[in-house]
């Protein structure tokens, strides 16, 4: 028997979301992902001073506020031909990494793991321990997580004044110069967070030992306890190695620029088990099934207007494509492009599924504190952290950043210091893309196909991602 069901709204993404499913005999045969909210930040920015982008952009998302600030500042920096000094760049990287780590922590402990407390799982042997640990509001680990998260975000207060919506991030660097005593305090904060991760996530295994793992077999041998071990147990028990499969084409813009012009995490694409170069000139946005009229195409060429009455449209999300193909982004993509052997091995064996995507997040969560410690060592309170620039410029600039959830693009075209054209492609735009002109569904729409739905299934809720 075939039926259509609608699920939503979901509240764990950048804006409101609902999902429509076509279900046949308890199995999803097709899915349509609907971003129901039109916000129109690009239209709000048109005609304003270029520096207004630094004020409006962080308000696009309450979770990835710093990421939006960094992308806006990067687009202005390219257009104004200004480069941050070394300490300004390291400080920007520290703020972005802090926010991304907080996002991964929040996703795993507050959004993802509590889903397994659902009654559908009550008959499993592991259920009592998972319920005791992750039940919303009452789970034994949650107070520690919330305390660690709050202390971790003090880093953003130290570097940026406050979070979210800091104005410390500028095209020429950062406005807050730390003193040596504050740099020492920053190192202590990073060490405390590392200690928390070892105690809670890895079950006492040093982060360096986990990050040295190169194969799935080694991972299972090194990590048998902690919440990472519990997650691996769930992956096996519920076969999360098969759930939520996408086409498995990944991309990353690369992340955390260094003063020499490189990036700590490399850019690239993953297709058919191999990493190759990313060409941003092949990025287009299809609007066939999006509630816009006008011409799609490259973000720096597209001119569209909202149209809520458009036939065949079902979402306010456009359909980004790379060279005409469906791609996804996120922590898994970043670690694959960065050359992490375990992540590449998992992709070759399993592809992009629930298990590998969440492991990508956890891997990055464990990896970022060590990188942040290195960047903190590079901070110099005796040099400038911000370079001045003339904001009355004419030109265009592209800002490419990796937020926790994936690639974030900001494009600005300005004339005499005023914004003529501003475009944003957020990670959710890629991952929750609708169908394109050829009818090809986006990553999440494809990941939903094959899932069991209904009381007769009782497993793999569609909200797991």
The average confidence (pLDDT) of the chain is 95
pLDDT of residue 295: 87
Q: What is d(CA 238, CA 206) in angstroms, rounded to the nearest whole number?
A: 28
Give yes or no for residue 412 having a pLDDT over 80. Answer: yes
Give yes or no for residue 155 having a pLDDT over 60. Answer: yes
Q: Is 264 exposed, middle or buried (0-12, 13-18, 19+ CB in 10 A)?
A: middle
Give yes or no for residue 65 having a pLDDT over 90. Answer: yes
In a domain, 424, yes or no: no
Q: What is d(CA 369, CA 98) in angstroms, rounded to the nearest whole number?
A: 8
In a domain, 328, yes or no: no
CB 288 within 8 A of CB 437: yes
Average pLDDT of the residues in 296-312: 92
| Residue 133: HSE in the Cβ half-sphere, 13 Å Cα cutoff | 18
Give yes or no for residue 54 having a pLDDT over 70. Answer: yes
Average pLDDT of the residues in 250-269: 97
- Which tokens sit at 134? 């992750």
Average pLDDT of the residues in 23-48: 94
pLDDT of residue 452: 86
401 pairs with which residues across the strands? Answer: 408
395 pairs with which residues across the strands? Answer: 414
Give yes or no for residue 457 having a pLDDT over 50. Answer: no
**What residue numbers bound the domain in which 116 lies?**
83-252+350-388
Confidence of residue 164 (pLDDT cuts 50, 70, 90): very high
CB 221 within 8 A of CB 212: no
Other Cβ atoms less than 10 A from the Cβ of 44: the count is: 14
Number of H helices, E strands in the chain: 16, 17
pLDDT tens profile 80-96: 999 999 999 999 999 99
Chain position carrying tokens 């997650």: 231
Give yes or no for residue 151 having a pLDDT over 90. Answer: yes
pLDDT tens profile 104-116: 999 999 999 999 9
Q: What is d(CA 63, CA 416) in angstroms, rounded to the nearest whole number?
A: 33
Confidence of residue 7 (pLDDT cuts 50, 70, 90): confident
CA 411-413-418 angle, to 5 degrees, is 125
pLDDT of residue 2: 84
In a domain, 243, yes or no: yes
Residue 100: closest CA among 144, 178, 153, 36:
153
pLDDT of residue 89: 98
Q: What is the pTM of this model?
A: 0.96
In a domain, 108, yes or no: yes
pLDDT of residue 463: 54
- Which tokens sit at 161? 């004044």
Confidence of residue 120 (pLDDT cuts 50, 70, 90): confident
Confidence of residue 15 (pLDDT cuts 50, 70, 90): low
Average pLDDT of the residues in 192-203: 99
Picking from 295-299, 348-352, 428-432, which range would have the lowest pLDDT averaged per residue?
295-299
pLDDT of residue 218: 98
In a domain, 170, yes or no: yes
Locate all alpha helices (DSSP H) within 31-141, ordered by sequence.
41-45, 53-56, 65-80, 86-106, 127-134
In a domain, 413, yes or no: no
Q: What is d(CA 96, CA 166) in angstroms, rounded to the nearest whole number?
A: 12
In a domain, 187, yes or no: yes
Tally of domains in the chain: 1
Percent of the chain with pLDDT over 90: 90
Q: Which of 38-47, 195-204, 447-456 has the highest mean pLDDT?
A: 195-204
Q: Is 208 exposed, middle or buried (0-12, 13-18, 19+ CB in 10 A)?
A: exposed
Residue 95: closest CA among 196, 167, 194:
167
* Secondary structure E strands in 323-428: 395-403, 406-415, 418-425
Specify the 3-state DSSP secondary structure of 439.
Answer: coil
Confidence of residue 458 (pLDDT cuts 50, 70, 90): very low
CB 343 within 8 A of CB 335: yes
Confidence of residue 214 (pLDDT cuts 50, 70, 90): very high
Give yes or no for residue 72 having a pLDDT over 90. Answer: yes
Other Cβ atoms less than 10 A from the Cβ of 461: the count is: 17
In a domain, 78, yes or no: no
Q: Is 6 exposed, middle or buried (0-12, 13-18, 19+ CB in 10 A)?
A: exposed
Q: What is d(CA 170, CA 293) in angstroms, rounded to the nearest whole number?
A: 34
CB 283 within 8 A of CB 299: yes
Tell me, what DSSP letter sits at residue 281? G
| 11 vs 61: which has the higher pLDDT | 61
Q: What is d(CA 319, CA 291) in angstroms, rounded to the nearest whole number?
A: 11
């Amino acid at each position: 028997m075939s039926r259509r069901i609608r699920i939503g709204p979901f509240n764990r993404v950048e804006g409101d979301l609902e999902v429509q499913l076509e279900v046949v005999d308890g199995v999803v045969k097709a899915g349509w992902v609907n971003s129901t909210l039109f916000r129109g930040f690009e239209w709000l920015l048109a005609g304003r001073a270029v520096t207004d982008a630094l004020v409006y952009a962080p308000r696009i998302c309450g979770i990835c506020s710093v990421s939006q600030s960094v992308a806006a500042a990067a687009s202005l920096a390219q257009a104004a031909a200004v480069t941050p000094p070394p300490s300004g760049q390291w400080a920007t990287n520290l703020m972005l990494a802090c926010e991304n780590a907080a996002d991964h922590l929040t996703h795993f402990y507050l959004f993802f793991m509590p889903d397994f407390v659902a009654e559908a799982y009550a008959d499993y042997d592991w259920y009592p321990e998972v319920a005791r640990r992750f039940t919303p509001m009452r789970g034994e680990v949650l107070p520690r997580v919330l305390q660690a998260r709050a202390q971790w975000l003090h880093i953003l207060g130290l570097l940026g004044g406050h979070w979210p919506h800091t104005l410390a991030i500028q095209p020429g660097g950062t406005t807050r110069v730390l003193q040596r005593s504050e740099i020492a305090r920053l190192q202590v904060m990073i060490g405390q967070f590392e200690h928390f991760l070892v105690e809670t996530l890895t079950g006492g295994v040093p982060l360096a030992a986990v990050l040295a793992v190169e194969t799935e077999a080694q991972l299972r041998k090194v990590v048998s306890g902690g919440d990472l071990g519990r997650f691996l147990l769930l992956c096996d028990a519920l076969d999360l190695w098969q759930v939520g499969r996408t086409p498995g084409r990944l991309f990353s813009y690369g992340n955390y620029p260094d003063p020499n012009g490189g990036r700590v995490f490399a850019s690239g694409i993953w297709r058919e088990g191999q990493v190759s170069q990313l060409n941003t000139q092949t990025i287009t946005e299809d609007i066939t099934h999006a509630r816009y009229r006008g011409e799609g195409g490259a973000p720096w060429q597209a001119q569209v207007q909202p149209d809520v009455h458009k036939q065949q449209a079902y979402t306010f999300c456009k359909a980004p494509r790379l060279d005409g193909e469906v791609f996804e982004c996120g922590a898994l993509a970043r670690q694959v492009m960065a050359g992490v052997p375990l992540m590449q091995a998992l992709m070759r064996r399993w592809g992009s599924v629930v298990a590998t995507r969440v492991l990508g997040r956890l891997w990055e969560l464990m990896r970022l504190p060590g990188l942040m410690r290195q960047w903190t060592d590079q901070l110099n309170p005796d040099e400038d952290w911000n370079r001045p620039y003339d904001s009355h410029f004419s030109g265009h600039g592209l800002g490419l950043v990796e937020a926790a959830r994936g690639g974030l693009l900001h494009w600005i075209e300005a004339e005499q210091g005023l914004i003529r054209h501003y475009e944003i492609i957020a990670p959710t735009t890629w991952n929750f893309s609708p169908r394109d002109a050829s009818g090809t569904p986006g990553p999440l729409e494809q990941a939903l196909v094959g899932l069991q739905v209904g009381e007769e299934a009782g497993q793999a809720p569609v909200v797991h991602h």
